[in-house]
Amino acid sequence: MKNKIQELRKSRKVTQQELADALCVTRQTIISLENGRYNASLTLAHKAAQFFGMTIEELFIFEGDENL
């Protein structure tokens, strides 16, 4: 699943560590999310969407049956 985390984070001049602290996850999780190696849970997606002030659909791009 693609997401706009890196793009939004950079545009708002937020560091990976700051975002990680705000979402209560490790910096490594943010790196993995940005690289698309890890898909966030619903809770984390919700927290991230709240942080950027947008909806989950706007932040995460669902590309069909990824795990089917």
- Tokens 């002030």 map to which residue? 53
Which position among 2, 13, 35, 41 is part of the footprint of other proteins (CB under 8 A)? 41
Q: What secondary structure does DSSP assign to 13-51, as a single string?
A: T--HHHHHHHHTS-HHHHHHHHHTSSPPPHHHHHHHHHH
Beta strands at 2-3 and 60-61: parallel, antiparallel or unpaired? antiparallel
**Could you say whether residue 6 binds other proteins (CB under 8 A)?**
no
| Residue closer to other proteins, measured from CB, 11 or 18 | 18
**Could you say whether residue 40 binds other proteins (CB under 8 A)?**
yes
Contact residues toward other proteins (CB under 8 A) are 20-21, 24-26, 28-29, 32, 38, 40-41, 43-44
